[in-house]
Amino acid sequence: MVPQEIFDLCIDWLDASQCFQSLKTCTLVCSSWLPRTRYHIFRRLSIDFRFRFRESLPDLISQLRADIFAKPSIVSYVRVMSLQLQYSLDHQAGPESPYECLSDIPFTNLEQLHINFAYSLLTEDYPWRLSRLIHLLQNNPHLENLSLRNFAIDAQSMHTLLLNLATYSPRIKTLVLDDIRSFRWSKSESDWSLPRLIPLERLLVFEGPGFDLMAFIFRHGFFDWNTLKTLALVGSLNEDGVKALVDSGCGQVTSFLTLDLRNLHSETLLETVLGNFPQLRQLQLLPPAVDSHGILSHTLEQLGRQASFSRLMSLYISNPILVFPLDTQLVELTKAMPSLRHVSFNFGSWLQENAIDSEDMKNRLPLTSRTGVLDFKSNEIHISAS
């Protein structure tokens, strides 16, 4: 094991080095940080419980409080915090859970906050998660980026979260809701209003199948859609969600869209969704692994038919198993989009098992006749403008 002193020397060298000002990322991992370590030169702090399951949880939390939370020089400097709160499969709520460390986090200058909660079937975990999170939001008015993973909540809790963002986070620009598995909404006529619309620039929702968080968000208009430039909809965007999306007016200024095609089984739904984003410059499509409904094929048809997509510059398609051999639709699509400068296909393991002739690709895709650039790397094909 590397002695603590070696890490201290590394930190001292970084602090004194001229290159430190331009350093983007530095990761130093030690089994036990001593109080003398000079954390205060770092703007990003990551706390990870995932690999500390052999140690006493109360001791770990006490160490955090003594070595980091109690040091004003550290607290005042950190701007980005990442918390991995998985500790063990049988963790409990309350003082014996990692969430206890959230109860007295003293940071007040955070600009980015990323929390990965442990997925739990224990409903008593949820109030702890929400109350600790709200406490952090209220103490960090400069927050610009909030990312939550495994944050299972109901409609009332989601409204409470958004209400606090609208009230205490005037600078918020990015909201990521990742792996939301248990959202339930009774579609009651409750008052879900906010004191102001949240002017997000980026909204990314990754929802488990069978839930309706997207419909809830779009129907109640929590965000100022006139500022939203990036939108990712991955998960259960169903017919109700599509209707709520269209009624909300979302998408009119969005330039970057990630769209999960798994639940958009009809051409009508596809046409409705795509027609709501007239300003797209970048589009990422996530078709189902087994595309028995021909969803990807229908999507390519819609892209080629709608004149508003003539300004699309980048197209990324993940796992398009049914695209090859290339059919007429894909060829016509590239012809219909004179502004298209970059196309990427991610095939996973399929590319390794099915040899593709790059020269044949160049001959069949008109885009390459304009650029002549075709890269095969890491199971992906990139066709880019020079």
Q: Which string of DSSP letters, residue by residue, matches 75-128? A: HTT--EEEEE----TT--SGGGSGGGGGTT------SEEEEEPPP-S-TTHHHH
Global confidence as pTM: 0.80
**Sole residue written with tokens 């021909």:** 294
When mean pLDDT is compared over 120-134, 181-195, 219-233, the highest value belongs to 219-233
pLDDT at 324 over 50: no
Comparing 117 with 323, which gets the higher pLDDT?
117
**Sole residue written with tokens 């530095």:** 26
Comparing 329 with 60, which gets the higher pLDDT?
60
**pLDDT tens digits for 46-58?**
887 776 656 677 7
**Sole residue written with tokens 């990427």:** 344
Q: How far apart are alpha carbons 198 and 172 in whole angstroms?
A: 8
- β-bridge mates for residue 80, sequence order: 44, 112
- CB contact burial 302-332 (16+ within 10 A = b; e otherwise): bbbebeebeebebbbbbbbeebbeeeebbeb
**pLDDT tens digits for 73-91?**
788 888 999 888 776 544 4
Average pLDDT rounded to a whole number, residues 20-39: 59
Average pLDDT rounded to a whole number, residues 55-81: 82
H helices, E strands: number in the chain = 13, 13
CA angle 256, 214, 137 (to 5 degrees): 85
Token pair recorded at residue 116: 């990965």
Count Cβ atoms below 10 Å from residue 115 Cβ, excluding itself.
Answer: 22
> Please, are residues 105 and 74 in contact by the beta-carbon 8 Å criterion?
no
pLDDT at 118 over 60: yes
> Please, are residues 368 and 383 in contact by the beta-carbon 8 Å criterion?
yes
Comparing 284 with 296, which gets the higher pLDDT?
284
Single-letter residue type at 292 = S
157: confidence class by pLDDT, cuts 50, 70, 90: confident
Q: How many CA atoms lie within 13 A of 331 on its CB side?
A: 12
- Parallel, antiparallel, or unpaired: how do β-strands 314-318 and 373-377 relate? unpaired
> Please, are residues 298 and 270 in contact by the beta-carbon 8 Å criterion?
yes
210: confidence class by pLDDT, cuts 50, 70, 90: low
Phi first, then psi: what are they for 61, rounded to 5°? -65, -40
pLDDT at 171 over 80: yes
> Please, are residues 204 and 175 in contact by the beta-carbon 8 Å criterion?
yes
> Please, are residues 64 and 52 in contact by the beta-carbon 8 Å criterion?
no
Q: Helical H runs in the chain?
A: 4-16, 57-64, 72-75, 125-139, 155-168, 213-220, 239-248, 267-274, 295-305, 328-336, 350-353, 358-364, 366-371
pLDDT at 298 over 90: no
